[in-house]
Structure 1
């Protein structure tokens, strides 16, 4: 569907949107942001929605009069009911790659902080302990280690490039659904001597990896994908990092693995209950071998700007009659 210039489509951003992209909208569509009173009219007037963390109830979709597109600010769409969108004949697009650098930086930071026990040392010093170089907290180095990346999309590739560039890591990649184009991107970026595609996590991945980084969606098939049986296969020096979605790691089993010394530690930017609090999961949030952050991978202002710009470009293209990019349904 195309629109004459005097009848511009209306896009309602029901979550906060970086203000720097406002100038990109002029002449392409009307943008109503969540801080404007008019936002309450989205069921009546919206041709498209931009959503970040909000969900859209199926009963709300049924009341929409003009809605044709939902644009996800980011990659993950697990909070959206894809079946309801299909039933309402509403298309869904996301923005893969736009937040890859921000998420990858957090994955790298978590792995380094867990490995070198920075959070433990910092907390003990602040609690008044007298620590020196001989206090026994030596940590683990990452140089020359093996990184297992589960999920070979844009974020996984960016993580792989960062770890390989910084530490000369060997990379194991597990992704049974990776496209030919994505696989080619890996093979043109990472030297073949440092890149191995694996088919079985239990035998080729978990027992070998020094760092495990998750970059997959939360689906019925990935819920509790890593639990007691998987931790038992890992090295006692292994570090697991989740910047993807909470629920992929069974958090009760993770606590047990940390308590029993089955792995060295964990860095979590994604948890089953967000934001993480001492009340929501006291044993894990307080555990000194687990660093927890409130899903900040895509929260840096520069990342928000880039993702918002991608949202604007995606919608402007479909409104001008071009084929949709990154369409989920």
Structure 2
């Protein structure tokens, strides 16, 4: 589909053209590729237990196995809802970036392909949350409003690096979920679909970030390094809503307190971000202020 538009003298066009070809060869339709009809089997977890915010805490040790499974199902539904929220931000940033640009350019065509992927992913996540018996989890109102501002003003490397931050963290989680037989089968399928398709999105985001930074001066680079870090902080801290503990029948105050002090979960987050931090360092986006924000979010 894209080979006719490849411009071999331009590496950026070549990357986008290769991504278009890859998408044509391997993409999914969640409406038919996910088993939506089989009733939810509550003998399974919603995610790997080790990714639970309470795993390894005293509260986790007191919970029954049924409570642990319900908690992981609610947590993965919350992560899916946060994913929908951010994917809607992503779509608007990419559309704004491509507005009135050359439609014959493979980069333009890839951007629209990515948006189409994200639309399918958001529907898939919404249906998965419903199947898991979860409510519509949302970030705090203040975070939603900050997201509204970010999607309206972020440009260049800030937009694409923020996309990369969100997708990299979820990618590592979902690679674990899709391989774990303790996880309910339809979530494993969803995780596999998202990992395959988002790998192309992350490739494009890395290339776009590098390309935009090539023209950035020191002041712009330092400013966007902090903007990206702040966006990462709010994305990661919004993944699991405190409401999941209520839905799982737990004491929310105790659960929030123990989750906030859970060193195991913090270590999981840091390990999931090791590759991301290497990329940001190579792009000179780990300034001192940015590092302070990443440490506060337990990403480094």
When normalised by structure 1's length, the TM-score is: 0.24
Bigger share in strand: 1
Report 1 or 2 for greater relative contact order, CA contacts < 8 Å, sequence distance ≥ 6: 2
Based on CA coordinates, which of the two structures has the bigger radius of gyration?
1
